[in-house]
Amino acid sequence: MLKHRGFPSRLTGTDYHFTIRRPGKKGATRLIARERYADRRPADRAADQAFMAALWDYFGEEPFPRGNLDAGRLSWLFGREVVPAEDPFDPESYDALLRIDVEKARASFPDVFEGEGWE
């Protein structure tokens, strides 16, 4: 499992994890597209935004391996702002390639992309 050195491990001051420390004994947790409802708690929304900001700062528009990124946190963005970058895609692989769908991410998290010249 690739460890993304320098990637934030969690949202500061919370237990919202962005990375995992070691691979699971049964392999990688399957990525699924979780539904984000409008009544989610502000802390959950802040964690999503901070995670997207970290992804953007660390990877930009380039494809990236899933590696040690937390499956639960990725699943809140998967299928919308974060999409597979390869076909076929294995949602249970630490080596699976992902990428940010910049247009969808910008629409969902405009503060992350503010000042990026997107106007």
Confidence label for 48 from pLDDT (cuts 50, 70 and 90): very high
More confident residue, 85 or 11: 85
Task: Collect all residues with Cβ–Cβ distance below 8 Å to 78 and sequence separation of at least 6.
Answer: 31, 32, 33, 34, 98
pLDDT exceeds cutoff 50 at 118 = no
pLDDT exceeds cutoff 70 at 12 = yes
pTM: 0.87
Coil vs helix vs strand at 78: strand
Mean pLDDT of 41-57: 92
Lowest mean pLDDT among 15-19, 75-79, 83-87: 15-19
